[in-house]
């Protein structure tokens, strides 16, 4: 508790301007001046977690296209069969294999589960040599819009 700046015995409950000075005082002493602000009861000190957890971002690996193509060929599947197995549109899978469309995390996970390959990686701090994901996505924005439109 913060004790009153004037009497020093009671708990300061308000901030009052007394003779031009802003003081933390009790209700009684506040009468000497003008209350400017009520001190919030038990101000919870929301302490910022000192150890800031690096935000773990899940991203699709950059060589997803190659990996997906490889696993499909390993399974002796056509693109169509592969798309069907994943319940995805052939056009989507074609774009993904061409590397012109970054699969969504959901799709990447699905492929991971079904075919036992690793497509999603957790990225903490992005290190210098990793190409920012946006760059990959930027190139595919047109495709994404196209696909979205087609769905409608
Ligand atoms: Zn007081």
> Alpha-carbon distance 101 to 80, whole Å?
17
Assigned superfamily of 57-151:
lambda repressor-like DNA-binding domains (1.10.260.40)
List the strands of the sheet with 14-18, edge to edge: 21-25, 14-18, 34-38
Q: What is the pLDDT of residue 138?
A: 47
pLDDT tens-digit map of 14-57: 999 999 999 999 999 999 999 999 887 655 555 555 555 666 78
> Alpha-carbon distance 69 to 65, whole Å?
6
Q: Determine what percent of the chain is predicted with pLDDT higher than 70.
A: 71
Q: What is the pLDDT of residue 123?
A: 75
Q: What is the pLDDT of residue 129?
A: 52
Q: What angle do CA 129, 131, 137 make, to 5 degrees?
A: 175
Ligand 1 centroid – CA 9 distance (Å): 7
Helix, strand, coil tally for the chain in percent (to 5)? 40, 15, 45
- Residue bearing the bigger pLDDT, 19 or 152: 19
Ligand 1 centroid – CA 40 distance (Å): 17
Q: In Å, what is the CA distance from 128 to each residue of 90, 107, 132, 138?
A: 35, 27, 9, 19
The structure's pTM equals 0.47
pLDDT tens-digit map of 102-130: 999 999 999 999 999 999 998 765 444 54
Ligand 1 centroid – CA 22 distance (Å): 14
Ligand 1 centroid – CA 46 distance (Å): 27
Q: Are 147 and 92 in contact (CB under 8 A)?
A: yes
């Amino acid at each position: 508790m913060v004790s009153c700046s004037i009497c020093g015995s009671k708990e300061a409950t308000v901030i009052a301007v007394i003779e031009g000075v802003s003081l933390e005082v009790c209700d009684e002493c506040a009468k000497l001046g003008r209350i400017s602000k009520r001190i919030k009861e038990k101000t919870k000190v929301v302490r910022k977690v000192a150890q800031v957890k690096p935000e773990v971002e899940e991203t699709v690996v950059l060589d997803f296209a190659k990996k997906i193509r490889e696993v499909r060929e390993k399974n002796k599947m056509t693109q169509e069969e592969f798309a069907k197995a994943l319940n995805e549109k052939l056009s989507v899978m074609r774009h993904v294999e061409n590397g012109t469309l970054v699969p969504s995390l959901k799709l990447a996970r699905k492929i991971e589960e079904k075919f036992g390959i690793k497509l999603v990686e957790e990225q903490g701090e992005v290190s210098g040599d990793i190409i920012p994901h946006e760059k990959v996505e930027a190139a595919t924005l047109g495709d994404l819009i196209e696909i979205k439109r087609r769905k409608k």
